[in-house]
Structure 1
Amino acid sequence: MSVPGVTNQTNPGTDAASSTTFSPADRLGKQEFLMLLTAQLRNQDPLRPMEDTEFIAQLAQLNSLEQMQQMNETLSTLVEMSVLAQTASLIGRHVTALDPSGGGVIKGVVSDVTIHEGTPVLNVGGTAVPLAHVVSIGIDPSATASGGAA
C-alpha cells in the first residue's frame, strides 16, 4: 500500500527535505497513531482493502506502544523512589561534602533530605548540599563518643 506525501499544514513553505530538528514531543504518540490508522482505513482503495494481517499488525504495534509508555512511567517512578529511599538512609549519618557555593568543605550530620528539580539535596548543618557533592559518609562521631566505653 502506498502512502501519499505528507505536507505541513501550518507552514506550507516547509518540506520534508528541510533540516528541521524535532524534539521528543514531536514524535508520534498513541493519539497520532490512531489518527493515522483511521485516515489509512478511511482512504484505502476499495478494490484493494487492507489485509487483515496488516490491520492486526498495526493494532499490535499500538498495543506495544501503550505497554512501553506504561512501563516507562512505572520505571521512572521506581527510579525516583529508589533514589529517595537511598538518600533518606543518609539521615543521621555524618557526611563530608564539597561546598556548593565554592571551594570549601562541609562536615556535619544530615538532618533531612529533599528532592529539588529531580536532584536529592541533603541538609547538612543548615546548608543545602546536592548528593553529588558528598565525598564521604560515616557514622556521627558524637554518637560513638557518648556511647563508647562503659
Structure 2
Amino acid sequence: MAEEEVKVFRTWSSSFALRVIWTLKLKGVEFDTVFEDLSSKSPLLLQYNSVHKKFPVLLHNGKPICESLVILEYADETWKQFPLLPQDHYERAKARFWANFGDDKVFQSIAYGILLKQGKEQEEEIPKAMEILQHLEKELKGKKFFGGEKIG
C-alpha cells in the first residue's frame, strides 16, 4: 500500500484546527502541519479553500477537504480505527446536532458574545451564555463524554 499524504493547513490558535489535529492523533494518522499566517494566507490555502479562504484544510493525497466538522466526518469515514461517530443512525444524528450546537451556539456566544465585548455589553451577554452552557451540562450529566463512557 502506498504511503498517504496527509497535511493540515492551520494556525496555531484555531480551536477548529485543533479538533482536526486531535482527531488525526486519536486515529493514529501521520500528518504534516502547515502553519498559516492569518494576515497573509498562502496561495496554496487560497487554492484549496477558494470559497471561504480559511482554515483548517485537510489535504489528503492531493485532495482538499474544508470546514472542521466536514473534515472530522471525512476522517471518521476514511480511517475507521477509533470511530468518532456512533454506528447507530439516531445516536449519530444526535452527535452531529451537539457538534453543530457547539459551533453555532457555544462558540458564538462565548467568543463573540463575551470575549470580544467589554463592560455593560459583555455583562449582558453572560446570562445568555450561561443558558446555552446549561444545555451542555444537562446533556453531559452522568456521562464521561457525549457518547457515554468512551470518546466519540
Question: Structure 1-normalised TM-score?
Answer: 0.29
More strand by percentage: 1
Structure with greater contact order relative to length (CA < 8 Å, sep ≥ 6): 2
Q: Which structure has the larger Rg over C-alpha atoms?
A: 1
Question: Structure 2-normalised TM-score?
Answer: 0.29
